[in-house]
Amino acid sequence: MTTHSFNQLGINETLCHALSQHGITKPTPVQQQAIPLLLKGRDVIAKAQTGTGKTLAFALPIIQSIRTDKQQVQALILTPTRELAIQITAEMKKLAAVVGAKVLACYGGQDVLAQVKKLENPPQIIVATPGRLLDHMRRGTINIGPISFLVLDEADQMLHMGFLDEVESIILKTSNSRQTMLFSATMPQQIKQLASFYLNKPEQVDIQAEKVTVDAIKQQVIETSDRLKQSALLYMLQAQQPFLSVIFCRTKIRAKKLNEALQDAGYMADELHGDLSQAKREQVMRKFRDMKLQILVATDVAARGLDIEGVSHVYNFDIPIDTESYIHRIGRTGRAGNTGEAITFVTAKDMDKLAAIEKVVGKKLPRTKLESYHLKGLFQADLQISDDKRDNRKKEKPQDRTKKSNQPINNKEIKVKTEAPKKSKTKSNPWEITKADLDMAMGIKNKTPKKQSSREQSRTRASKNEGRSGGRSNGRSGGRRGR
């Protein structure tokens, strides 16, 4: 039996109407399974990968069941990061407004006193990060004792961020009669334990990771070395012209350094990781959402669960620590039926991890080896170009660039290719990267080969790369690669 509407799951007409106004009409699998259980008052432990709609799975039953005539905190949603707290609050507010419920986000970095003021009129729903919530509990500004609904969202991430002790001390302050729901993309042992401790005969919802989601994403692997990785990334960025991309690094320091290098190379890039101030994190996310940035250099934790539309490329500058992180990272692209590309850079020591990833995605990923001779010419062009760019930058602020987004920032701009490249009628621009250039660079043997050197011929075979791009200038110039 399949259910086709939220209404059939027990969601009322008012909320269904509000959902449909946001284009949401068909429940996702986790919503189909969790919503009826939650409306029945059951505790639920739900495992479903990122991007499967877990937020609405808990938000809808809560909003429908909340008592709007009572001005007290009735639902508490605990989430690991400020960004998620903001995102969930925004999503819940849209729906809460139609039933007349209030939602408040509560996370570190905000002005506590301003928040205390807001809490004088308690909202029915609070979305909080554990640290800030405990802070309010100590001050006596939030009383979560009487809550009826407790959500532990992205529970595995709270574990990875070391929040479990805080989460437990929060749970212990709530009433035993609460309904508890735990949502997580993965179920590590400690999370199962937490659930068995604090959930009351929970129903399990387990949505198997859909291979399809990943299959919609074009994946490839670039073999390189630690020394050449950065050049290899610059090379791929130049070749692929990503519209909006997220680049994942293993550590905060690596993210910071890489961001600096990308900015120096003229990209509109910024970094997102746990070392940044709250204001800065919000600013970066806003700029990225508004497409004033093209590249977000992030650590796993910072980018976890973020729902950003239009990410065309995910680059795993550092291979993820496990296969689940791989799925989550590449899940930042190809969202909501869009296509996306995921590029993973590997060095010799990453081969075990790569093998594990290939096992999970169920296929061998196409590999391309980028070696120093591939990158040399590009790198020279880079240095030269980034000097030009520095001069330009003095005259032009980055915002100016985005406004006239398709305009070259200097006369050596690469012509950006569109999804369906037409045969160029005009004489080719020397700075345009042609399909042949790309094929050559990516080691694809051409059907109608130009004269190729033996070195070129020996290059590894690889997936074809179309150099797709969303038609937005990336403020980037390119030279022909040295041959």
Q: Which is nearer to ligand ADP, 50 or 316 (CB)?
A: 50
What, of ligand ADP, Mg ion, none, does residue 252 touch, CB below 5 to 8 Å by kind?
Answer: none
Nearer to ligand ADP, 54 or 353 (CB): 54
Sheet holding 179-184, edge to edge: 103-106, 125-128, 75-78, 149-152, 179-184, 44-47, 203-206
Listed ranges 50-58, 139-147, 266-274, 395-403: which one lies at the site for ligand ADP (CB under 6 A): 50-58
Q: Binding of ligand ADP at residue 53 (CB under 6 A)?
A: yes
Nearer to ligand ADP, 54 or 178 (CB): 54
* One-letter amino acid of 119: L
Question: What, of Mg ion, ligand ADP, none, does residue 28 touch, CB below 5 to 8 Å by kind?
Answer: ligand ADP
CB 43 within 8 A of CB 117: no
Give CA separation, 437 vs 208, 357, 374, 478, in Å.
41, 30, 12, 12
| Contact positions vs Mg ion (CB under 5 A) | 54, 305
Query: Shortest approach of ligand ADP to residue 341 CB, angstroms?
Result: 20
- Phi, then psi, of 140 in degrees rounded to 5: 75, 20
8 near ligand ADP, rule: CB under 6 A: no
Q: If binding is defined by CB under 6 A, does position 434 make contact with ligand ADP?
A: no
Backbone angles phi, psi at 400, to 5 degrees: -60, -35
Which of Mg ion, ligand ADP, none does residue 24 bind to, with CB < 5 to 8 Å depending on kind? ligand ADP
Which region among 53-61, 238-246, 415-423, 433-441 touches ligand ADP (by CB under 6 A)?
53-61
Residues 289-328 close enough to bind ligand ADP by CB under 6 A? 305, 307
65 binds ligand ADP (CB under 6 A): no
End-to-end CA distance of the chain: 61
Q: Strand runs (DSSP E) across 162-308, as ranges? A: 179-184, 203-206, 217-223, 245-249, 269-272, 295-299
Closest CA to 102 of 122, 76, 128: 122
Q: In what order do the strands lie in the sheet with 313-316?
A: 269-272, 295-299, 245-249, 313-316, 340-346, 217-223, 367-369
- Considering the complex, what minimum distance in angstroms separates the CB of residue 64 from ligand ADP? 15
52 binds ligand ADP (CB under 6 A): yes
Closest approach of Cβ 59 to ligand ADP, in Å? Answer: 8
- 56 binds ligand ADP per the rule CB under 6 A: yes
Label residue 371 exposed, middle or buried (CB < 10 Å: 0-12, 13-18, 19+): middle
How many residues line the site for ligand ADP (CB under 6 A)?
A: 15
List helix spans (H) across 290-371. 300-303, 323-330, 351-361
Of residues 32, 50, 245, 402, which one binds ligand ADP by CB under 6 A?
50
DSSP class of 176: T
- Minimal distance in Å, beta carbon 52 to ligand ADP? 4
In the bound state with Mg ion, the residue whose beta carbon lies nearer, of 130 and 305, is 305
DSSP assignment of 225-238: -TTTHHHHHHHHHH
Regarding 28 and contact with ligand ADP (CB under 6 A), the answer is yes
Cβ closer to Mg ion: 305 or 470? 305
What is the 8-class DSSP label of residue 277?
Answer: -
- Site mask for ligand ADP (CB under 6 A), range 156-185, x = bound: ------------------------------
Please identify which residue in 51, 123, 202, 334 interacts with ligand ADP, judged by CB under 6 A. 51
Residue whose CB is less far from ligand ADP, 53 or 123: 53
| 48/462 with CB nearer ligand ADP | 48
Q: What is the DSSP letter of 461?
A: P
83 binding partner (options ligand ADP, Mg ion, none; Cβ < 5 to 8 Å by kind): none
Please report which residue ranges of 366-446 form alpha helices under DSSP H: 372-395, 398-403, 435-441
Euclidean distance between CA atoms 309 and 293, whole angstroms: 13
- Bridge-based pairing of strands 269-272 and 295-299 is parallel
By beta-carbon proximity to Mg ion, the closer residue of 96 and 127 is 127
Among 26, 40, 363, 464, binds ligand ADP (CB under 6 A): 26
Cβ 305 to ligand ADP, closest distance in Å? 5
Burial of 29 (0-12, 13-18, 19+ CB in 10 A): middle
CB 333 within 8 A of CB 244: no
Among 32, 33, 55, 325, binds ligand ADP (CB under 6 A): 55
Q: In the chain, what's the furthest Cα-to-Cα distance? A: 79
132-154 exposure pattern, b = at least 16 Cβ within 10 A, e = fewer? bbbbbbeeebbebeebbbbbbbb
For Mg ion, the closer CB: 54 or 252 = 54
Task: Report in angstroms how near the CB of residue 121 gets to ligand ADP at its nearest.
Answer: 28
Contact residues for ligand ADP, defined by CB under 6 A: 24, 26-28, 31, 48, 50-56, 305, 307
